[in-house]
Amino acid sequence: MLIITEKEVEKVLCMDKVISVVEEAYKDFDNKKIISFPRTGGGLNENGGAYIILPASHIGKGYFGFKYASSYPDNPSRGVPTVASTILLCDLNTGFPVSFMGANYITAMKTASSPAVASKYLSRERASVVAIIGAGFQSKFQLWALSYVRKLEEIRIFDKNLLNAQLLADWYLKNVDAAVNVNIVENTAEAIDGADIVTTITTSFKPVFFGKVKAGTHINAMGSFLPEMQEIHEDTVGNADVIATDVPQDTWSVAGDLIKAEAKGKLSKDFCISAMGAIVSGNTPGRQSDDAVTLFESVGFSALDIAVAAYAYETALEKKIGTAINLLDA
């Protein structure tokens, strides 16, 4: 079994390749080459700590595996990231583990690549103004990935912690594109006003913005992966013309934004929730007009994690990165 540390994972992954792996994984899922199994998860403490275990099988690549991830909103005050995760990757033919790897970086890259793919297919092609609500650990990856699928001209950042917002702005200008107009705004209303793409990446249990988005806006809702969580107001959900999720079978059990909208009569369970894989494969229409409001509701898709982990493992083998151990040694 190959042990791959977080630092070593960073050496084998690049954003453009991960976006391609994620896009292909969506197609494979739609074509039944990937199976996503039921998840387990829940709250762990009164301060919002939560965990999730995500299993999946990648038949096309010959692997299956499990990702464990936790989200602890108070972690930054302890000097550690909000999200902690690992992946156990196994051989589909023998059942034996082939790799155990740190998955914080995989999670960040995958979590950013998924809405980047969604934005590629659901946002308007000329979308150039992005609002991001939440400037935590994963926010820089969100903006980085979006820069690969859309020509960004303006970025608006809102976070309750002004320092986090400033650090994100500085990082983007230094590492991605110094020519983009990056602004730190005082409230979410200012952030979303006229934005083409709105990304929410928080651990919130209540809506993070209010008011209507403009016609043609695409929303990436990234933080509501448990029924009790919520980032998007029920009125905004109810006004969406297209709603897509990464895992449609999990929609009504874990997607807090949609569950709360349905509970308040703003969204019917009869509304057609599209599978992102079907949209990527061309089997389901995505955006059908420039004025449509589209919503990508992400709840965590184990198939993408396993697809990226398989790529990381194979690349690490090729580059001779990682530490090999024999689990069968007496």
Which residues are CB-neighbours of 123 under 8 A, at least 6 positions away?
Answer: 150, 196, 197, 218, 287, 294
| Domain span including residue 35 | 2-107+303-324
Determine the pLDDT at residue 49: 87
pLDDT of residue 135: 96
| Cα–Cα distance for residue pair 129/217, rounded to 1 Å | 10
Which pTM does this prediction carry?
Answer: 0.90
What distance in Å separates the CA atoms of residue 242 and residue 227, rounded to the nearest whole number?
Answer: 21
The verdict on 31 and 174 lying in the same domain is no
> What pLDDT, on a 0 to 100 scale, did the predictor assign at position 253?
86
Q: Output the domain CATH number for residue 282.
A: 3.40.50.720
User: For 221-259, how does the pLDDT look when each residue is reduced to its tens digit (9 = 90+)?
Assistant: 998 877 899 999 999 999 999 999 998 777 888 898 999
Query: Does the residue 21 lie in any domain?
Result: yes
The answer to whether position 197 is within a domain reads yes
Asked if the structure places residue 330 within a domain, the reply is no
Residues 50 and 165 in one domain: no
Q: How many domains does the chain have?
A: 2
Among 10, 230, 239, 245, which Cα is nearest to 118's? 245
For residue 279, tell me if it sits in a domain. Answer: yes
Cβ neighbours of residue 258 under 8 Å, at least 6 residues apart?
237, 243, 245, 251, 252, 267, 273, 297
Asked if 234 and 210 count as a contact pair (C-beta separation under 8 A), the reply is: no
- CATH for 54: 3.30.1780.10
Residue 183 counted as domain residue: yes
Q: Residue 330's pLDDT is what?
A: 55
Weakly modelled stretches of the chain, pLDDT under 70:
330
- Please check whether residues 74 and 159 belong to one and the same domain: no
End-to-end CA distance of the chain: 15
Is there a single domain that holds both residue 129 and residue 251? Answer: yes
- Quick one: 48 and 121 in the same domain? no
Same domain, 167 and 138: yes
